[in-house]
Copies of this chain bind each other. A is one copy, B any other.
Amino acid sequence: MTTMAPENLLPLDETAQDLLFREARTANSFTAEPVTDEQLRAIYDLVKWAPTAMNAQPLRVVAVRSPEARERLVPLMAEGNRAKVAAAPLTLIVAADEDFHEHLPTTFPHREGVREAMAANPGRPAMARFNASIQLGYLIVGIRAAGLAAGPMAGFDAAAVEREFLGDGALRAIAVVNVGKPGPDAFFARNPRLGYEQVVTTV
């Protein structure tokens, strides 16, 4: 038995807890209210501080804002995701940069030769995907910090999205995330979460 109410164990105030986690919900429809570049920049400038291994920061984002770009993206989504991408004010293609090591002389400057060592490391693509996925978690929290709803989606043709939006280089598409204010009937019924005892074992 706990002896304190759980919220007293968290210095983060309850309004923030609700905004980021408890009240926040994945949105499946959006109002027409725009999400500005300034809002997206504020989100990035907050979540960029969260940690990655070797400060690698492999997250890259293509912000799909123009109707023309959106029209190219919609058919690459799984059928169940097309209508909501078509209607969202802003959609983010979230990618992992397998060539993150090119930035290491700047981002991890104290380790001599780190760029060359990582260039030769066959684990680099997996490291890019792993750390960009962690950063996707931060990004979803950051979208909520801006008072916006996120609608992250894994159902899309990743190879086609990469060809159409990410060049022929080192960027792997890991998710597509709608961003905006929730519209009518935006939320499905909340599904159950696993209990603490199902997730955490203490040894």
Contacts and interface: CB of A to CB of B under 8 A. Distances in A.
17 contacts: A12-B19, A12-B46, A12-B146, A13-B15, A21-B47, A24-B49, A40-B200, A48-B193, A50-B141, A51-B150, A55-B191, A60-B199, A61-B200, A62-B202, A63-B201, A129-B130, A134-B134
Given A16-B16, A44-B199, A51 B26 contact: yes
Chain A interface bracket (under 10, 10 to 19, 20 to 34, 35 or more):
35 or more
Interface in A36-56: 37-51, 53, 55
A191 to B, nearest CB: 4
Nearest to A126: B129
Given A109-B191, A134-B133, A191-B55, A146 B10 contact: yes
Contact of A203 (B69, B133, B134, B174): B69
B50 A10 contact: no
B38 A154 contact: no
Contacts of A15: 13
A117 interface: no
Nearest to A100: B194
Contacts of A31: none
